Structure 1
Amino acid sequence: MAQEYMDQTSEGYDDVRPVFYIGQHDSARSEPPTDLQYGQILNAGFGFTTTPVTNRHFHQRIKDLVASCLGEWEKSELPSCHPDPIVPPLTIEDTALFPDTYTSGLVAYSSPWIDLCSLNPVVSSISRQVLNLEVNYANFCGIRSLVVPGPRNDALKAGSGQGVAQFSRAIQEALVIGTRLNFIIHLPMYREPGLEESIENLSSALPNKEQPGSEEPEEIDIFSTWDSWHVIRTTCTYDSRLFVANKCIVNKPTAVRVPRVLPEKQVQTRWFSEPLQYLTFGPSSFQPNKSGNPSLSRHHQDMIGSYMKLKHAPYFLLCDVGPELKDSSETLQESAAPAEAAWPSLSEASQQPTRTTPKYFKANPYASYLRYVESQQEPLSVLERSTLSNFQDWLQSPLQPLSDNLESVTYEVFEGDPVKYNQYEAACAEALTEWAQHKKPTSSSTGAVVIAVAGSGRGPLVTRALKASETTGVPVQVWAVEKNPNAYVYLLRQNQREWGGRVTVVKTDMRAWKGPLVSGTADENPVYGKVDILISELLGSFGDNELSPECLDGIQHVLAKPHGISIPKSYTAHMSPISTPRIHADISQRLPMDPHGFETPWVVRLFQLDFVAEKVPGHARFQQAWEFVHPLPESTMTMVDARRSGGVVGGGGGSMAGGVGANDHNSRHCHLTFVCRSRGVVHGLAGYFESVLYEHIEAGKTPVELSTLPNNIDRKSKDMISWFPIFFPLKVTTSVLPPDTELEVSMWRQTDDKQVWYEWMVEAFAWVGPTQRIKVGGSEMCSSRKIACLM
């Protein structure tokens, strides 16, 4: 069977695919594997294995301690004042785990028989001490990861809330003790009745079971285990060393009928957004194929494929699927040859010996199947291999192109996306074609259409404008306007080597440019003309966050009237509330060095996230915040000039903030309502934009557009990577929202004539009647004013 899968992996060896790291866990193992057994596990196709920290001797010692302490506790006249029992330190009889050359390659598995959630103070105290002893000793031995079985009952179940809180507190304490350990909480994706772990814990020794199982079938709550995980990680303040391991299907070997169906997509995407370290599979997760070999359903394979696109993809942990390990004595006995065969005859020695493979070298069928699934993964594209994967959920401060001069490498990154420039070239070509078809007058004496590229950078839009002229046959005059003195030198070189001197390069801030010089010189009798088509790529991740409105307002005066065209014509900002625990934890850890972390609109390639809002009638998942259109009406520009010159007293937010209100027309406000059908938590707002580069004069034609919206990007600008989304974090995340919560999002784009910043807040409401809502959560008001974008 293993050979069957291996034969299918030889094709396409040049393709780069995600790599699977497959581990082995045996729940019955009570001792660390010996060197020989560890080798058997590796030879069976696994890359690592788990190990218990303590053994059966220690387990029995703790059981005796629990029984003794419970007896004393029950006899005590004042049980509340009875001293906590003390677990003695480990001895050589309690563990076989010692520092060794391969110890750092083992994953420790804490004792599953402890009960951190017990309501009995004796059991909970002893369990917590046992965990701390194992954590401390594993830390000493050089173990790097420790798996802790999660709570068996969730906080939402009646009587279990205290237990999950106790569990969370114990993990928080263990994080302090195990300074070099990563902690992985082992939880199922959802609770399936009758499929919980069968190992008895310390609470089983209590005279009366604390939480007797109900004989009636329980209703499955598919988010209950996520709720418990959320309690644990928030108690531990999103610690970077705390992860979660998902059991895809909870396994119980004695079960006769085990479900193999994954939960709803909402549950899968919720866990996808979490810091998942392991995906664990038991025998019941698999089903036999036609050959009788283990296999996973297509839904499982699709889920694995989505996880393997993560920069930090989870490892696989196969539980209780073998191999059967042999100790050294058994291996030596098998390998020992019979005495009479020690000295074969000459005829026997001349015969070719039969090749036999020791049993323990046989590949594990489950591991072999996962290797087959690995070979079937979609090959990674060139960008996914390094560039894009490295940017997953990596926070970047937004650019300030007006106040900063960008480096060449930054321009080079922008220029690496052909889709954006193809769209710009198409927009320019359409504009030139319709200009010629409608015989519009041009601003040049030769009849050529005058094009100005504002903010030319290293000139990619200039190149595309020249190409559009060549493909349409419409003559053009091109001006490249750039304020960056370093990029200006590069543009002069491009004009000399690539453009054949067809471009006029001007070094100035576009807002100070007076237009194409028609006659005279800049110092003597200058005469300035107009521009027919104004092209710019000042758009940011939110459309307007890099001050495109302010820049294009400042250069609008050079645009010819009434036929002048702006590319882009308009752009809209859109947003959606999301859950992204990794980014929230990253920002939290930055706070000592970056106190404005939760007030910064971060540019980030959002990848490991969960969209908490769903599309319902009247409320979309992605909603428009506001829009900017260019060129502005002449009446608006007249009012701007009047305010700037002091002709108007008073104004809006700008004047109240100390300005004259000259930029108040670019302030915005929105109030949006999103509906969260499933309960969850919101860590911030994901921002996107769409832009109409060129809209045809003739009705019915599809405009040339750009979009970063997840539900529109494939239709409008497929495979475009120039812009990552923007992320507006929340200072205080909303608490766990009940189902069908309405999220009210308020956002403002503010200005004081010198800078632009955003303010945002989220409020959560639940309906308690046909016409009444109550507030069930919310964030603080967040403001990026202290790190505003300078004009």
Structure 2
Amino acid sequence: YEFMCVPLVHPLFKREFVSGSAKKRTGPFTRPDIVLCSSDWNTLIIGKLSPHIKVDSKNPSLKKNSEETLKQELALASHLGLVGVTFKLTKGIKENANLSRIICDKVSSMCSLQVWIQVPMENPIKQAYSYREEDCGKVESPWEWWNAFRIVCDYNRKLGVALIVSHDLPDQEEIDRWLGEPVKCLIFPTTLFITNKKGYPVLSKAHQALVKKFAMLEVQFVLTGQNRYQSITYYHNYLEYLWKDCESDGAVERYARGYEDYLQCPLQPLMDNLESQTYEVFEKDPVKYSQYQTAIYQAISAVKSKLEDKSRKIVIMVVGAGRGPLVRASLNAAKKANQSIKVYAVEKNPNAVLTLQALEKDLWEDKVTVVSCDMREWNSPENADIVVSELLGSFGDNELSPECLDGIQRFVKPDGICIPTSYTSYIAPVQSSKLYNEVRQCRDKDKHTLAHFETSYVVHLQNKYDIAKPQPLFTFKHPNNATDNSRYDTKVFKVRQNSVLHGFSGYFDTVLFNNITLSIKPSTHSPGMFSWFPIFFPIREPIQLKAGDQIVVHFWRQCNSKNVWYEWCISEPFPGPIHNPGGRSYTI
């Protein structure tokens, strides 16, 4: 076992701070700190607060005593340098207002102490009624207790959930809602375990599925209750086996490790020249370029079938060629189609052009012409049969693919093909106190205070709950007949259960050619592809949602001669302010 949850003071040792003979009692109130060295206190112990503390009692004497006891134990935890303390939440905020105030005072101070709030997964009243014949009716979900408590504590990031796993698991939707919360550990009572044929403790299939869901959040496991087997190590060995079984080690997992829920500003390759390392990472994607090659092969075959002069070379323009992966894909596709081609590799980054020129000289020779120029300013000597680009961002159009391709469109033949031929962005409402707190921590003295809530972020979403399924937002097609790339749309989402809206996750999918697609939308995600993480649009203030509510969100893609930017706002269930008006916080 890696750590223990230990009572800071003996659970039966009540102290008197108000009056009476017990107040004069001498001697220490708990064990001294020298029973462990400092490094052990720092890493191996989570302190349990005394269960008899009732700071919200109607009895003034008990209330006062409990307040002093709680302060004494929190001060001791800070003195010992514990990582955190834990206590059990058994009721809603009405019965815990004073407790939340004291905890809020503590976590708002400079101390680094975390507070793990033990919350049962299922309301104990509901569990009790499972043994009775009559129905218990509607009872409050323990998630409501936690939600109200952390709102009162202003979403403090030092608060975490220690989720007590129940015998009867709640609905799947209710379990998924916990995935959007800062769950630090799952608490397994030993009574949950059943004995297998060999006489060892195991969990039911439903509980195993629960462990798999939470494994991606890197939660800890805590075992509580009476040991019912020969050795307590049996539980440990089984839980460790379960944990290792949950670990996935695919290309996406290896690439994304360490970036879970980490906010990154989207790349701006039109404004900034990408570094060699960035090119190298994207070139390792095992899926993207094979799909591109298939699409180019099909496009070459389509053009070839219409050629009157069979000896004519097909002209392919690779715009935004980078270090040449799409040039290679084009040459491979042409070889497979047994068709001679002429490739123009257009790239504005002079450092990447060095690589292209070296490849042109040593490998590609007269098949490829390297052009060091911004594609929008280039005057092509001839028109293209096929234009190939990889200018897509996590939201499809957020790296200015429409604007860049509009600049080259005049050199596409009337029946020419663009790869990709179209792409669509998607948005979905999301609950994630982790992301909300991450955005809240951002500071930039050169920008106004709301700037970070009006910026989109690329993020590998893990610690989140999807309030509703993604819906399509903006679509762009190429060749593009429209001259205006600004867009506006309204989306309506139905809320399935009480939850908290912290922002919107964004995805995209693209049709490269015919039926060849790439997607980062969860339901159609291209297996093994890691070139794009989703995008996240935060909102300034979390919105409390009730089951049956409608979320109505408005999204704009605004353009002027120099910049493109997004604006967004909510009109239901409560009207909210426009985020990023006029591109004041973020432009592309």
TM-aligned CA distance change 1:91 to 1:390, over 3 Å: farther
Q: Mind listing any 5+ residue stretches in structure 2 that lack a counterpart?
A: none
**Shift, 1:547, TM fit:** 0.6
Q: Deviations over 1:518-563 (max 9, x none)?
A: xxxxxxxxxx2111111110111111111111111111011112x1
Q: Which residue of 2 aligns with 1:534?
A: 387
**Shift, 1:502, TM fit:** 2.5
TM-aligned CA distance change 1:237 to 1:441, over 3 Å: farther
Q: Give the alignment partner of residue 86 of structure 2, picking from 147, 155, 174.
A: 147
Whole-angstrom distance in 1 between the partners of 2:172 and 2:2: 30
Q: Deviations over 1:680-709 (max 9, x none)?
A: 1110011111111112xxxxxxx1111111
Give the superposed CA RMSD: 2.6
Q: Which residue of 1 aligns with 2:174?
A: 267
TM-aligned CA distance change 1:247 to 1:535, over 3 Å: same
Q: Give the alignment partner of residue 131 of structure 1, picking from 70, 79, 86.
A: 70
Which structure 2 residues correspond to residues 560-571 of structure 1 after superposition, within 5 A?
560-561=413-414, 563-571=415-423
Q: Which residue of 2 aligns with 1:226?
A: 143
Q: Deviations over 1:158-196 (max 9, x none)?
A: xxx2x2332321210121457021111111112132769
Whole-angstrom distance in 1 between the partners of 2:161 and 2:568: 31
Give the fraction of aligned pairs with identical amino acids, expressed as a percent: 35
Q: Give the alignment partner of residue 6 of structure 2, picking from 34, 51, 57.
A: 51
Whole-angstrom distance in 2 between the partners of 1:320 and 1:608: 29
Residue 247 of structure 1 pairs with residue 164 of structure 2:
yes
Q: Contact between 1:686 and 1:727, CA under 8 Å: does it hold in 2?
A: yes
Whole-angstrom distance in 2 between the partners of 1:427 and 1:388: 27
Q: Mind listing any 5+ residue stretches in structure 1 that lack a counterpart?
A: 1-45, 70-86, 156-160, 197-214, 250-259, 325-358, 516-527, 614-620, 638-664, 696-702, 766-776
Residue 712 of structure 1 pairs with residue 524 of structure 2:
yes
Q: Contact between 1:760 and 1:781, CA under 8 Å: does it hold in 2?
A: yes
Residue 373 of structure 1 pairs with residue 242 of structure 2:
yes
TM-aligned CA distance change 1:374 to 1:90, over 3 Å: farther
Q: Which residue of 2 aligns with 1:691?
A: 510
Q: Which residue of 1 aligns with 2:562?
A: 754
Structure 1 counterpart of 2:226, which letter? V
TM-score (norm 2): 0.92
Q: Contact between 2:509 and 2:517, CA under 8 Å: does it hold in 1?
A: yes
TM-aligned CA distance change 1:228 to 1:91, over 3 Å: farther
Q: Contact between 2:580 and 2:586, CA under 8 Å: does it hold in 1?
A: no
**Shift, 1:458, TM fit:** 1.0
Q: Which residue of 1 aligns with 2:471?
A: 623
- Structure 1 residue ranges, 4+ long, deviating more than 4 angstroms after superposition: 65-69, 87-92
- Other structure's SS at 1:402 match: coil
Q: Contact between 1:755 and 1:788, CA under 8 Å: does it hold in 2?
A: no
Q: Which residue of 1 aligns with 2:113?
A: 181
Q: Which residue of 1 aligns with 2:97?
A: 165
- Other structure's SS at 1:711 match: helix
Residue 456 of structure 1 pairs with residue 456 of structure 2:
no
- Other structure's SS at 1:666 match: coil
Q: Which residue of 1 aligns with 2:398?
A: 545
Structure 2 counterpart of 1:607, which letter? Q
Q: Which residue of 2 aligns with 1:40?
A: none
- The number of equivalent residue pairs is 576
Whole-angstrom distance in 2 between the partners of 1:167 and 1:383: 43
Whole-angstrom distance in 2 between the partners of 1:466 and 1:602: 35
Q: Which residue of 1 aligns with 2:290?
A: 422
Whole-angstrom distance in 1 between the partners of 2:384 and 2:92: 67
Q: Which residue of 1 aligns with 2:551?
A: 743
Q: Which residue of 2 aligns with 1:401?
A: 269
TM-aligned CA distance change 1:91 to 1:414, over 3 Å: farther
**Shift, 1:218, TM fit:** 3.5
Which structure 2 residues correspond to residues 623-772 of structure 1 after superposition, within 5 A?
623-633=471-481, 636=482, 665-695=484-514, 703-713=515-525, 717-735=526-544, 737-765=545-573
Structure 2 counterpart of 1:720, which letter? M
Whole-angstrom distance in 2 between the partners of 1:474 and 1:281: 64
Which structure 2 residues correspond to residues 423-442 of structure 1 after superposition, within 5 A?
423-439=291-307
Q: Contact between 1:54 and 1:111, CA under 8 Å: does it hold in 2?
A: yes
TM-score (norm 1): 0.69
Structure 1 counterpart of 2:30, which letter? T
Q: Which residue of 2 aligns with 1:235?
A: 152
TM-aligned CA distance change 1:530 to 1:110, over 3 Å: same
Q: Give the alignment partner of residue 95 of structure 1, picking from 30, 34, 41.
A: 30
Q: Give the alignment partner of residue 358 of structure 2, picking from 493, 496, 520.
A: 493
Q: Contact between 2:126 and 2:136, CA under 8 Å: does it hold in 1?
A: no
Which structure 2 residues correspond to residues 453-492 of structure 1 after superposition, within 5 A?
453-492=318-357
Whole-angstrom distance in 2 between the partners of 1:90 and 1:537: 76
Whole-angstrom distance in 2 between the partners of 1:419 and 1:58: 63
Whole-angstrom distance in 1 between the partners of 2:492 and 2:11: 57
Whole-angstrom distance in 2 between the partners of 1:272 and 1:55: 34
Q: Contact between 2:122 and 2:169, CA under 8 Å: does it hold in 1?
A: no
Q: Which residue of 2 aligns with 1:78?
A: none
